Each structure stands twice: as C-alpha cells, then as structure tokens.
Amino acid sequence: MKTKLGINRNSEIRTGMLMLSPFLILFFVFTILPIISSVVLSFTSYDMISTPKFTGIGNYIKMFSRDDMFPKVLRNTLLLAVVTGPISYILAFMLAWMINELNRGMRTVLSFLFYAPALSGNVYLIWQVLFSGDSYGYINNAMLTMGLISEPIQWFKSPQYAMAIVMIVQLWMSMGVSFLANVSGLQNVNPELYEAGCIDGVRNRWIELWYITLPSMKSILLFGAVMQIQSCFSIGTLVTALTGFPSVNYSTDTMVTMLMDVGTSRYEMGYAAALSVFLFAMMAVTRVVVGKLLDSVGNQGGRR
C-alpha cells in the first residue's frame, strides 16, 4: 500500500513493530504476566508452599465482611489519597511553574532543592529525629525547653498526631517524578505560543497559564496525574517507617501496609492479591475520572 506521498506504509509498520518489540516482549514477561497471575491468585488460597486452591470470590467476601482491619485501612488509604493527592499534584505543578520564570542558575538550584528528598535515600530519618517520641526528639526537646509541654509527646504513637505527620511527610516528599516532568515539560512549551498570546492580548500570567501553558502541557499534566494517583494510593513504606506496623489502633495503616503484612507475615498470598486487585480498581476509577477532568483544562481557548 502506498500513500499519496508515495511512502510505503507497510514498511513503516514493519520498522515500527521492530522498534516496539523489545519493550513489548519485556513488558509482557515482567509486568503483564505477573499482573495476570496476581489477579488469578486473588481467587485462590495460596500460602506460597502448597499449590494454590481455588476459592472463588472467598477472599473478596472475607475482605468486605469478616476483616476488622479492612474498613480502617480503607478509610486511611482514601483519606491520605484525597488529602495528599490533589495538594501534591498542584504543588508539583505550581513550583515547577514558579521557578520556570527565574533565570537558569536560580532554576537549577531551586529545582535541586525541591528534588533533594527524592535523591537522598534516608528521607524518613530526619522526621524520625524531629518527631522522636522521647525527650531526645527535636520538637519534644524544643517544646519542653519552652515549657509548652511537661512531658514528651509520643508523636507517632498518638492517633491524633500520627496521621497528620504522615500527611506532612508525604507532601514534603512529593516533589519527585511529576515535579521534574513538569519542569522539563515547561521547557518544551513552544515559545512562539507565548509570543502569539502576547500579541493576542494576554496581559497577565494567570490568563497565560490557563489559555497557553496548561493546554500545551496537557499530556505532561496527565502523566503527572497518573504518577500522583499511583503514589498517593500506595503510601505504605512511609507509614511503616514512621509509625511502625501495626500502628496504634491501625490509625495510620493503609491498604499497602496491610497487604504487605498479609503477604509477608501471614503468608496469605491469595488474600494479599485480592487486596491489591481492589486497590488497583480504586486507582483505575480515579484515573478515569481525573482523565475526564483534565480534558476540560483550558478548553474555551485552547490552541489547535
């Protein structure tokens, strides 16, 4: 088949397939196949030693009706996602946008500072030291010295503080992948669009942001949103590092800490798989809703 330009579309497709195949093969073997087995496992009882036993939707019934921990971790997971997800998403964009108008040196330094938590491996350590429950903790120590409290507060062991601290730390850590993607996405916005906007009467940065910058960044914004959904629903290691497992009255435990416990210490891999299928379903629904929301960004005056 030849197109009107005389290009052999079939040969292009052949080249394309060849370029796609390394990814496709590895993706299938190392990601899709494991996901399929995990979904299949969710309908079984599997202790990692004997062969999986098919139990139908038993795991799901157990999850919704017989597990006291599940409603608590579900509540915590949703709470963390709803609070930290949108805030860190907006923050990751706003900070990238704010530093974008600075000169190159300032931009490099500031984006390094923002990205620093993602670079340094031991990020929780500083928070553990700050909020340490004994009087050695910096915050307890300072408050004791100032006479605000008479005895040290067990920050991570008090349900009323633990969740708030987890949220703060998660937000603080959120300048990661989507922040840098935004920084380079802003670099890639065609400058002629700004010039055209200026000629067309854009007289203020907010109008420019809504009608020029955001619409040209749509695909990067979607990337950031998906990464954010992924991270805000998967908060787990952070919680365990700060508040331990299980946390007091499961006050901060999430779906992820629960499924890690179910898999690692209880050896109920089938149940852990069912939990992750449910978690995935929540994320997938969120992804679809967010996709619809992003479609409407800058719609009234978007380019093209």
CA distances from 69 to 24, 163, 175 (A): 39, 16, 31
Task: State in angstroms the smallest separation of the CB of 11 from other proteins.
Answer: 8
Residue 274: Cβ-neighbour burial (10 angstroms; 0-12, 13-18, 19+): buried
Residues whose CB is less than 8 angstroms from the CB of residue 2 and which lie 6 or more positions away in sequence, other chains included: 8, 9
How many CA atoms within 13 Å lie on the side-chain side of 89?
Answer: 21
Residue 84 amino acid letter = T
Interface pick for other proteins out of 50, 104, 201, 296 (rule CB under 8 A) = 104
Residue window 6-35: x/- pattern of binding to other proteins, with contact defined by CB under 8 A = -x---xxx-xxx-xx-xxx-xx-xxxxxxx
Distance of CA 219 to the CA centre of its chain: 17
Give the footprint of other proteins on residues 194-213 (CB under 8 A): 194-195, 198, 203-205, 208
Give the footprint of other proteins on residues 167-186 (CB under 8 A): 172, 175, 177, 180-181, 183-185
Residue window 238-277: x/- pattern of binding to other proteins, with contact defined by CB under 8 A = ------------------x--xx--x-----x--xx-xx-
Interface pick for other proteins out of 86, 152, 157, 218 (rule CB under 8 A) = 218
Interface pick for other proteins out of 69, 78, 118, 139 (rule CB under 8 A) = 118
Task: State in angstroms the smallest separation of the CB of 247 from other proteins.
Answer: 18
The whole-angstrom separation of Cα 74 and Cα 51 is 30
Structure-token pair, residue 261: 């416990």
Interface pick for other proteins out of 60, 115, 161, 245 (rule CB under 8 A) = 115
